[in-house]
Amino acid sequence: MAKAVIGEETRLKLAEDRLSQSALPSEVGLLIGKFSSALGRAFIFDLVPTPLNDSGEPACALIEPDKKKGPKPKSKSEPADSSSLFIDKDWVAEHARQVSRMLVGGMKVVGLYVWVSDAAFKNSTMMLCQTVKGVADAARGLEGDWDERLLLHICYSPRRWSCRNCSLSSNITSSSLRPCDFKMGKVLTSLQTYKCIYNFNIRLPILRDSESKFQTLSDVLRHVISVHAKELTGAKALIDGKLVVESESYSSDGVHEVELLLPFLNNRSIEACSQGDVVGLLSFSGMICSFAYLNSKEPTSQAVTNIKGDIIKSLQSRLDIICDEVDADSGNNHDEARHEISVEKPIPQLVLPTLRFLRTIAWSYYP
């Protein structure tokens, strides 16, 4: 559990000014930051408001108790602080999933912020906990993840900031929220920049229909990425030309260059198979420019871990985006004949064992 949470003062104050000038009764959005196990702290770099949904409606709204039960007219004697928050949880979770794809190494969607009155916040504890849980599930990291997320409350009546840890246990209750120390400070200026240009060239045999565990190109690529992730975990790293020491930290400014060294000829993606079972070869190659940002008190080994995670996440995210686009396009083409052979068939949906005329498929990744 993070003992303390520090927010970037300049970004959070800008968000507060925007919210106070907007006169919005409520708003939800994502917290972008990172958890540091070495320091026992969480950092918030920025707030990203959740956009309007596909119907043009905001992701949250204040509702009165009578509106939950039906179109009964509101009593004039009913207290004004009885309102609670309705949140489009699925939309907020989808926003978190999309945003997490674009974050660099080590930076994550660490939780949710809400701009609402103190009374409405207290009346909406379960709704907020469920939304935080949905955000965590949608934007879960590859490496060992923290079992908590942050809920930042920006109260406008009275004006104050408060932060809570939200436990990600299977049973969400009001006790899942626990207060934590929160303060603002200069966070971004204390970060060190690490950069890695990573070139990769992975090859995988395409097996006959009866031998292959994967049918489509997207299935094979997901398998290739998962195998390469295991290989990348054991890679050694050089930072500014020096081998990384586990507990070492850097205090110098500027961009630190990271180079990853994979074991020679350690390509486990080439499965053992007979020549007769192989009908082709998948060549997956490209280049990724990865960044990681670290507090000067954190060990440099954490930067290497973050960069490795960023590389794999970049590969998976790009493939997910391509497949999402293909699925959307396919949904618009249901009027085509089912058995019609088309050269316009999306590449990720190609059934590889049926492509007898192919010997090599090259897939390049150059963002």
**Which long-range CB contacts under 8 A does 346-349 form with residues at least 24 apart?**
347/217, 348/216, 348/217, 348/218, 348/221, 348/319, 348/322, 348/323, 349/216, 349/217, 349/218
Q: How confident is the model at residue 204, as a pLDDT?
A: 75
CA separation for the pair 40, 44 (Å, rounded): 14
> From the CB of residue 105, how many other CB atoms can be counted at a distance below 10 Å?
27
As a whole-number percent, the residues of the chain with pLDDT over 90 amount to 43
Q: How confident is the model at residue 196, as a pLDDT?
A: 95
Residue ranges of domains in the chain, CATH in brackets: 4-186 (3.40.140.10), 191-327+346-365 (no CATH)
Q: Indicate the pTM of the whole model.
A: 0.81
| pLDDT greater than 60 at residue 366 | no
Q: With the CA atoms of 348, 353, 354 and 357 taken in that order, what torsion angle do they form, in degrees rounded to the nearest 10? A: 100
Q: How confident is the model at residue 141, as a pLDDT?
A: 67
Cis peptide before 367 (omega within 30 of 0): no
Return the biggest CA–CA distance within the chain. Answer: 82
Q: How does pLDDT run across 158-187, given as a tens digit for each residue?
A: 789 999 999 887 677 767 888 999 999 999
CA separation for the pair 339, 342 (Å, rounded): 9
Q: What's the mean pLDDT when you consider all of the chain?
A: 80
**Nearest by Cα to 196 from 238, 141, 228:** 238
| pLDDT greater than 60 at residue 358 | no
Q: How does pLDDT run across 314-348, given as a tens digit for each residue?
A: 888 888 887 777 666 655 554 444 444 344 555 44
296: pLDDT confidence band, cut at 50, 70 and 90? confident
Q: How confident is the model at residue 202, as a pLDDT?
A: 79
